[in-house]
A and B are shown apart, each in its own frame.
Chain A
Amino acid sequence: MRELIKNRFALIALIFILAMIAFALLAPVIARYNPESTDSRSVLTAPSKDHIFGTDRLGRDIFSRIVYGSRISLSIGFIAVGIAVLIGIFFGSIAGYYGGRIDSVLMRFVDLMLCFPTIFLILAVIALLEPSITNIMVVIGATSWMGIARLVRAAILTLKERDYVAASKVMGAHDAWIILRHLIPNAIGPVLVSATLGVGGAILIESALSFLGIGVQPPTPSWGNILMDGKSTLGVAWWLTIYPGLFILFTVLSYNILGEALRDYLEPRLKK
Chain B
Amino acid sequence: MVKYIIKRAVSLIPTLIGITLISFFVIHLAPGKPTDVDTSMNPKVTYEARIRLEKLYGLDKPIHVQYLEWLKRFVRFDFGRSYMDDRPVSEKIAERIPITLGINFSAIILTLFIGIPLGVISAVKRGKLPDKLATIFVFIGFSAPEFWLALLLMNLFCITLGWLPVSGIASLDFESFNILGKITDVAWHLVLPVAISTFGSLAVISRYMRTEMVGILAQDYIRTARAKGLNENTIIYKHALKNALLPVITILGLAVPGLIGGSVIFESIFAIPGMGRLFYESVMARDYPVIMGVLSIGAVLTLLGNFLADIAYSYADPRIRITKEEAL
Which residues of A are interface residues toward B (Cβ below 8 A)? 2, 5-6, 9, 108-109, 111-121, 123-125, 127-129, 200, 204, 207-208, 211-212, 224, 227, 231, 234-235, 241-242, 245, 248-249, 252-253, 256-257, 260, 269-270, 272
Contact = CB atoms under 8 A, between A and B. Distances in A.
A204 B18 CA distance: 28
A114 B257 contact: yes
A271 B148 CA distance: 34
Most buried by B among A108, A116, A204, A260: A116
B15 interface: yes
Contacts of B299: 115-117
B62 interface: no
Contacts, number: 136
Nearest to A200: B143
A124 B218 contact: no
Contact of A248 (B148, B300, B306): B148
Contacts of A117: 257-258, 260-261, 298-299, 302
A43 to B, nearest CB: 21
B127 A5 contact: yes
A212 B14 CA distance: 33
Contacts of B265: 119, 208, 211-212
A118 B261 contact: yes
Contacts of A109: 18
Contacts of A128: 27, 30-32, 283, 286
A269 B211 CA distance: 10
A118 B264 contact: no
B143 A212 contact: no
A207 B269 CA distance: 14
Interface of B is mostly: helix
Interface stretch (B75-83, B112-120, B151-159, B178-186): B151-159
Q: What 5 pairs between A and B have smallest CB-CB spacing?
A: A128-B30, A117-B261, A119-B261, A2-B127, A252-B143
B301 to A, nearest CB: 9
B142 interface: yes
A270 B211 CA distance: 7
12 contacts: A114-B302, A115-B257, A115-B302, A119-B261, A120-B260, A120-B279, A125-B26, A125-B30, A127-B284, A207-B145, A211-B268, A256-B142
B257 A116 contact: yes
Given A116-B298, A245-B145, A253-B143, 5 more contacts: A112-B19, A125-B26, A128-B31, A128-B32, A249-B148
